[in-house]
Amino acid sequence: MFAREHDEVVALAVTTILDDALGLCRARIRTHGVTLELAITTAAQVRGRSIELSQVVVNLLNNAFDAAHTSAEKWIRLSTRDLPDRVQIFVEDSGPGIPAERHDDVFRSFFTTKAAGAGTGLGLSISRRIVDAHGGSLTIDPHAPNTRFVIELPT
């Protein structure tokens, strides 16, 4: 909690948030034969707490890794899209997917699609609360062919 209490709300480059998260996840992803595809084209800035927003991306990348590393095709795609007053960050993976009827459930505390003992079911609920507190949203894209989480934040 010490770091969170001192993590101030400041202007942050989205690329810095993503670089911080990738710094924590990149080695694990690549050493297990998962391809990491990056399409980070934004120059946007958001106001927020760096540690919290990086934690959200780390949670999503770790979940994507857990889904992708046992698939026949092993990839994770991290991308961005700028909107007039918002930025979207996408984390997509080649895993087996989340059934549409479970899309809302995954954001509930203690709900997990992972095997017993493999997850607490807290990562996505905490991530959604963090993004909500930053004036944004965290959703699953119901139209994507693979599981794709969407973080949307005001710029």
pLDDT score recorded for residue 2 = 46
The pLDDT of residue 64 = 95
Q: What is the pLDDT of residue 117?
A: 54
Res 36: pLDDT: 97
Number of domains in the chain: 1
Ordered mean pLDDT values, 10 residues apiece, the chain (155 residues): 64 97 94 96 96 96 93 96 98 90 75 58 86 97 94 98
Q: What was the pLDDT predicted at 5?
A: 52
Domain that holds residue 137: 2-154
Distances (CA, A) of 144 to 35, 97, 98, 100: 19, 10, 11, 11
- Confidence (pLDDT) at 62: 94
The CATH number assigned to the domain holding 15 equals 3.30.565.10
Predicted confidence at residue 120, as pLDDT, reads 57
Distance, CA of 54 to CA of 39 (rounded, Å): 17
